[in-house]
């Protein structure tokens, strides 16, 4: 608002006529009044304005800012009216007090801590479930403890129920695979005896071959059940080099073309000698039956693992079908014969390697055959 005031009008604490200045009582302003915070600014403005312009604060109950728009002109006998710009300060918020800032920061910190705790309370059971899922995928199932909100507790309970169902299904499968081949051994033995009593040599040889194929199938089932059952494993430190040299000596004694191309000494793993024997025997048997001799075997230590390689000189397996070859009961028509084979050889090798914390990889050899690499973790000293 605009207004014209007499020269001796003093809107604020500043008196423009020195001879009229005298002590006066300090104004009493409310706590939320913005004027106390502006006093320093007003004082500096008046010190720097040299053209007679003055800035002042009101002293009444209503906070306002006064600015003189024209300097004092005239003599003492002829007073000049001043023009003042009046600005209301009612809508200006008071400065934020330090205790209020501390309260706001404390409240914000408490909210952040509560949000962090709530996030951890939700994500912890989910992280535990993800870890349990990884363990299940690696062949070492692990139960979880239901915790957290209602939804995550229900999810944990469902996961444990699924784990129990899988274990029951696996137990039934093992019982079936172990019991059926065992029951077939009796009829197979009687079939062989009756075959030997036949007079026709051609019929006798055909029936003998069929009986041998059936016996081989039964042996594959039994080996697969034993090799994939972790309860049958007995882990102990094993010098893989000396053990492998002795194992291959047995194969050479049968007249098979199995050669140990390279062998690194002092390669020790924590393993089950019986299970690893099934692994090596299956690799060599598959290489002889589905590949072509000679069979090359090599052992080395690489990146904290023992690397066992078995290479044949056959046609190999196409890259797009190598993952299929590792599945149980998988028989590849292009590279595998169906006679006496149910497709459990490489699946058993992979199961034994995984039970030892290792892995298996199928690659193409330099001469075109199939190369099977088995990686087993070295024993800790």
Please report which helix (H) or strand (E) contains residue 205, including its range: helix 201-227
Span 203-208, mean pLDDT? Answer: 76
The CATH class of 233-377 is: alpha beta
Residue 145: HSE in the Cβ half-sphere, 13 Å Cα cutoff:
2
Q: Give 251-280 as a DSSP string.
A: HHHTT--EEEEEE-SS-EEEE-HHHHHHHH
Q: What is the pLDDT of residue 338?
A: 47
Span 171-179, mean pLDDT? Answer: 68
Of 37-51, 173-187, 261-275, where does the model show the most confidence?
261-275
Cβ-based neighbours of 46, under 8 Å, separated by 6 or more: 14, 54, 55, 56
Cβ atoms within 10 Å of 156's Cβ, excluding its own:
21
Q: What is the pLDDT of residue 17?
A: 39
Q: What is the pLDDT of residue 26?
A: 60
Distance CA 304, CA 253 (A): 33
Distance CA 248, CA 70 (A): 113
Quickly tell me which residue has 């006529």 as its tokens: 17
Cβ-based neighbours of 4, under 8 Å, separated by 6 or more: 81, 82, 83, 84
Residue 72 has pLDDT above 80, yes or no: no
Partners of 377 in the β-ladder? 305
DSSP state, residue 320: G
Q: What is the pLDDT of residue 53?
A: 77
215 or 336, greater pLDDT:
215
Look up residue 319 and give its two tokens: 């890259």
**Peptide bond between residue 244 and the one before it cis (omega within 30 degrees of 0):** no
Min mean pLDDT across 18-27, 249-258, 321-330 is at: 18-27
Distance CA 286, CA 337 (A): 10
132 or 27, greater pLDDT:
132
Domain boundaries, the chain: 2-88, 102-227, 233-377
């Amino acid at each position: 608002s605009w207004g014209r005031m007499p020269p001796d009008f003093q809107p604020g604490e500043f008196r423009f006529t020195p001879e009229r200045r005298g002590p006066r009582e300090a104004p009493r302003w409310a706590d939320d009044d913005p004027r106390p915070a502006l006093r320093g600014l007003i004082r500096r403005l008046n010190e720097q304005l040299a053209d007679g312009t003055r800035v002042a604060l009101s002293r009444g109950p209503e906070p306002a800012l006064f600015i003189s728009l024209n300097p004092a002109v005239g003599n003492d006998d002829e007073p000049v009216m001043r023009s003042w710009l009046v600005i209301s300060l009612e809508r200006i918020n008071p400065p934020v007090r330090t205790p209020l800032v501390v309260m706001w920061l404390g409240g914000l910190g408490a909210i952040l801590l509560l949000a962090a705790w709530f996030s951890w309370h939700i994500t912890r059971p989910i992280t535990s479930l993800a870890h349990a899922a990884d363990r299940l995928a690696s062949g070492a199932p692990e139960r979880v403890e239901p915790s957290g909100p209602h939804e995550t507790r229900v999810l944990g309970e469902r996961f444990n129920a699924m784990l129990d169902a899988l274990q029951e299904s696996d137990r039934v499968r093992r019982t079936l695979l172990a019991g059926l081949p065992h029951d077939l051994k009796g009829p197979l033995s009687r079939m062989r005896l009756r075959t030997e009593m036949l007079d026709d040599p051609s019929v006798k040889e055909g029936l003998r071959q069929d009986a041998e194929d059936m016996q081989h199938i039964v042996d594959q089932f039994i080996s697969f059940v034993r090799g994939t059952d972790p309860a049958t494993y007995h882990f102990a430190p094993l010098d893989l080099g000396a053990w492998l040299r002795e194992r291959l000596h047995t194969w050479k004694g049968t007249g098979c073309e199995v050669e140990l191309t390279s062998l690194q000494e002092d390669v020790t793993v924590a393993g089950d000698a019986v299970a690893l024997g099934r692994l090596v025997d299956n690799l060599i048997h598959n290489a002889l039956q589905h590949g072509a001799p000679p069979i090359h075997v090599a052992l080395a230590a690489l990146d904290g693992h023992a690397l066992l390689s078995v290479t044949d000189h056959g046609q190999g397996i196409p890259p797009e079908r190598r993952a299929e070859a590792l599945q149980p009961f998988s028989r590849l028509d292009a590279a595998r014969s169906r006679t006496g084979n149910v497709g459990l050889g490489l699946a058993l090798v992979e199961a034994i390697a995984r039970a030892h914390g290792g892995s298996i990889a199928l690659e193409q050899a330099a001469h075109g055959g199939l190369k099977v690499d088995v990686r087993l973790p070295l024993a800790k000293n």
